[in-house]
């Protein structure tokens, strides 16, 4: 948790991890479809099921199946890193290329119907699908935040201070408050915030 004082005011902003965030694969509208296969985790939108009486020999065969029978377009491979929690990425860099704790977990793809439904420009499809992977990874790793904007009200009789909540909001993906939308929501610039160690100091 971090607490900031808004310079030139008597207001504070407290930022902390959100405990019960929305699942972006269930609660958001998405261009992509995530098809995953993992023995221990139920991830993404769909489980990759093997045709009855058949078996896949490798991920390339699964990719061809998605293209042939599901109309999959713009397919991106997704890898999983499983070590003290799980994370996913389209990257082949460390730790997603680590031989012991990383593995292929599935794909994200879209279809002609999805592209038409979402009204996405074809040149933006790959970038948007990568963004959906990043957003889902933030959900899986708990990288989602909420804020509470408040000030202290002093009682004239007892000189005791109580916190008065002015505003609060949740559902900000990513730790960087310069990019995750918190600054826009509270209506100030990053330069207006002063990080403080003691949220009771006023």
For the stretch 88-120, pLDDT in tens is 999 999 989 888 899 999 999 999 999 999 999
pLDDT digits (tens, 9 = 90+) for 149-180: 999 998 777 778 889 999 999 999 999 999 99
| Strand 33-36, strand 144-154: pairing | unpaired
pLDDT digits (tens, 9 = 90+) for 57-80: 889 999 998 999 899 999 999 999
- For residue 10, give the DSSP letter: S
In this structure, the number of other CB atoms found within 10 A of the CB of residue 47 comes to 12
| 8 Å CB contact between 107 and 46 | no
> Which pLDDT belongs to residue 51?
58
Q: Compare 35 and 41 and report the one with higher pLDDT.
A: 35
| Residues 6+ positions from 91 with CB-CB distance below 8 Å | 79
Could you list the beta-strand ranges (E) of the chain. 2-6, 11-17, 33-36, 46-47, 73-82, 86-89, 102-110, 144-154, 161-173, 193-196
Q: Where are the domains of the chain?
A: 2-21+143-196, 24-140
Q: Look at the alpha carbons of 39, 42, 44, 45 in this order and tell me if their dihedral is positive or negative.
A: positive
- Cα distance between residue 49 and residue 44, in whole Å: 13
Task: Classify 45 as helix, strand or coil.
Answer: coil
> Which pLDDT belongs to residue 38?
83
Length of the chain, in residues: 202
User: What's the pTM value of the predicted model, to 2 decimals?
Assistant: 0.87
Q: What percent of the chain clears pLDDT 70, i.e. is strictly above it? A: 94
- Cα distance between residue 79 and residue 97, in whole Å: 9
Name the nearest CA neighbour of 147 among 165, 127, 120: 165
- pLDDT > 70? residue 198: no
């Amino acid at each position: 948790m971090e607490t900031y004082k808004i310079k030139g005011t008597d207001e504070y902003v407290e930022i902390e991890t959100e405990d019960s965030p929305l699942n972006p694969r269930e609660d958001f509208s998405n261009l992509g479809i995530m098809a995953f296969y993992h023995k221990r985790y139920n991830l993404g939108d769909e489980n990759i099921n093997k045709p009855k009486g058949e078996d896949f020999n490798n991920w390339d065969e699964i990719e061809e199946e998605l293209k042939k029978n599901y109309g999959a377009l713009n397919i991106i491979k997704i890898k999983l890193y499983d070590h003290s929690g799980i994370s996913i990425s389209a990257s082949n860099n460390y730790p997603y290329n680590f031989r012991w704790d990383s593995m292929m977990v599935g794909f994200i793809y879209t279809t002609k119907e999805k592209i038409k439904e979402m009204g996405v420009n074809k040149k933006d499809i790959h970038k948007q699908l990568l963004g959906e992977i990043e957003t889902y990874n933030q959900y899986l790793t708990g990288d989602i935040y909420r804020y509470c904007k408040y000030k202290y009200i002093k009682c004239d009789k007892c000189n005791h201070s109580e916190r008065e909540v002015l505003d609060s909001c949740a559902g900000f993906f990513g730790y960087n408050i310069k990019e995750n939308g918190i600054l826009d929501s509270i209506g100030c610039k990053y330069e207006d915030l002063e990080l403080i160690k003691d949220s009771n100091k006023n």
